[in-house]
Structure 1
């Protein structure tokens, strides 16, 4: 896979470090994720909080492999993996104080993965005192990645091709918009009102996979992503990548998103005007 063009010295990771991190993710996908895809036994799949919240042997093994590699490369960094954090929730609070932290979602879209659907990916971010500064959204099936850092544009990296700079859509009026917004993570009392807004759009949907939803947004294929149930491993990378692709990204109340944010709603939209229209439409969520 071709890495991105050389970045300025102030980039959070050097070009060599970016290559090493991406190659680590690729190796974990090849060793632990893809061999188990559509080959999981019942014993390889477990529920966490319920039947819609799954974990597989691939999640556990890929996270362990990526975490080990990151510790070797960045021994002083805080490593926050989804599966480790499910047993050690207090580690999330340490993100705000960490000069360098990595967040890992080893198989984002685990329900899709466990059910044989290809909409899954690996998400990795780097944060600095809680602020996302590098993001990687990797597709193990296609072996490509969408990446960005705080000083460069969002890019698509594909094998044997030059990096391609990504740009958000032009946005527009609500009736012309397509994007991602789900009901699963919303409070039950808000779901009916939220569902009633979906017919106002050209298309509103959910892939059950933040990795691919933010990839679609950064490429300009959709106009917005609304996220609830915030976790640093699901949303930090996508929030940064969307912003570097030209989107307006903020919490629904207008405040800045941080990787240690757990409450509220993260809205990423093609531009500020589109973001404001969506904020107005969904203002009831914050009431």
Structure 2
């Protein structure tokens, strides 16, 4: 399945339109009735999530009428769509507002994420910051780029390898069960500095641009990770599941680590994730 530069431009356009129409007008303007809990007080959905996903889905269907479209907020209606990503000729995943907790709290650390999947392989990514108007993009085999609102673009590269004591990064241990939660949380003190953004869009942005050395997650919902993993890989990084196998579309478990290179990956797997 071919996916052209023109198609990527289309994705960037519709994501920016959805943000301007449905997301930004609601940022710091949400009422109590506009925010709902999904699974917990830190797992939220807002009107912006629902309406932005609806906007992007309609635009994708108009241009790619036979594609499989997997939106985070529509997932509960048909959970079979996630395994279908492994075999679809063409598919898209949408996270309309990644970092909804931050968005609902008025913190400008959130983004919109789209991944393009063809025949079991992620082939393109868009990660958009509605507040800054900047976009991270990747096309398989063509590199990752940060595209500023002003039109400037620069190629992204991951951080150079470093000793663990000099590394910065984030492991989302807060979403893990015990005993992993306590062990990994304690092991993070081995790194130079640890972060927690609760926003995959920004985490992948940081690690692909070399600002952080590593990130890790245990829960692998495709709208959170497929786009970011491609961006990181195209920036020169190495990503694998906790057991060392590649992360593929359709998978939701097993955890992943993204690091500058394979040796760094093994250090983080051994010293932070542990047994």
> Would the TM-score normalized by the shorter structure come out above 0.5?
yes
Partner SS, residue 194 of structure 2: strand
> Per-residue CA shift, 1:135-193, capped at 9, x if unaligned?
11100000010010112010011123332101000021110100011222212221111
Question: Take 2:127 and 2:202, find their aligned partners in 1: how far apart are those partners?
Answer: 8
Structure 1: unaligned runs, 5 residues or longer:
1-9
TM-score scaled by length of structure 1: 0.93
Question: Take 1:80 and 1:239, find their aligned partners in 2: how far apart are those partners?
Answer: 17
Q: Is the 8 A contact 2:188 2:272 kept in 1?
A: no
TM-score scaled by length of structure 2: 0.97
Among residues 157, 160, 169, which one is paired with 1:179 in the alignment? 169
Question: Take 1:283 and 1:224, find their aligned partners in 2: how far apart are those partners?
Answer: 12
In the comparison of the two structures, how many residue pairs are matched? Answer: 275
Among residues 140, 150, 167, which one is paired with 1:160 in the alignment? 150
Among residues 113, 127, 135, which one is paired with 1:137 in the alignment? 127
With 191-200 and 107-116 compared, the bigger mean Cα shift is at 191-200
Residue 7 of structure 1 aligns with which residue?
A: none
Among residues 236, 241, 255, which one is paired with 1:246 in the alignment? 236
Question: Take 1:172 and 1:265, find their aligned partners in 2: how far apart are those partners?
Answer: 23
Residue 89 of structure 1 deviates from its aligned partner by 1.4
Question: Take 1:238 and 1:123, find their aligned partners in 2: how far apart are those partners?
Answer: 8
Question: Take 2:184 and 2:12, find their aligned partners in 1: how far apart are those partners?
Answer: 37
> Per-residue CA shift, 1:219-242, capped at 9, x if unaligned?
100000101111000000000000
Residue 3 of structure 1 aligns with which residue?
A: none
Question: Take 2:185 and 2:273, find their aligned partners in 1: how far apart are those partners?
Answer: 14
> Per-residue CA shift, 1:218-267, capped at 9, x if unaligned?
11000001011110000000000000000011112110111211111111
> Are residues 1:52 and 2:52 paired?
no
Superposed counterparts of 1:18-57, under 5 Å = 18-57=8-47
Q: Is the 8 A contact 1:148 1:154 kept in 2?
A: yes
Structure 2: unaligned runs, 5 residues or longer:
none
Q: 1:184–1:88: structure 2 CA closer, same or farther, 3 Å change rule?
A: farther
Partner SS, residue 240 of structure 2: strand
Runs of 4+ in structure 1 deviating by more than 2 angstroms, as ranges, are 159-162
Among residues 65, 72, 88, which one is paired with 2:78 in the alignment? 88
Q: 1:272–1:126: structure 2 CA closer, same or farther, 3 Å change rule?
A: same
Superposed counterparts of 1:6-25, under 5 Å = 12-25=2-15
Question: Take 1:86 and 1:140, find their aligned partners in 2: how far apart are those partners?
Answer: 25
Question: Take 2:86 and 2:101, find their aligned partners in 1: how far apart are those partners?
Answer: 30
> Per-residue CA shift, 1:112-151, capped at 9, x if unaligned?
0000000000000001233211111100000010010112
Question: Take 1:109 and 1:283, find their aligned partners in 2: how far apart are those partners?
Answer: 24
Question: Take 2:250 and 2:194, find their aligned partners in 1: how far apart are those partners?
Answer: 27
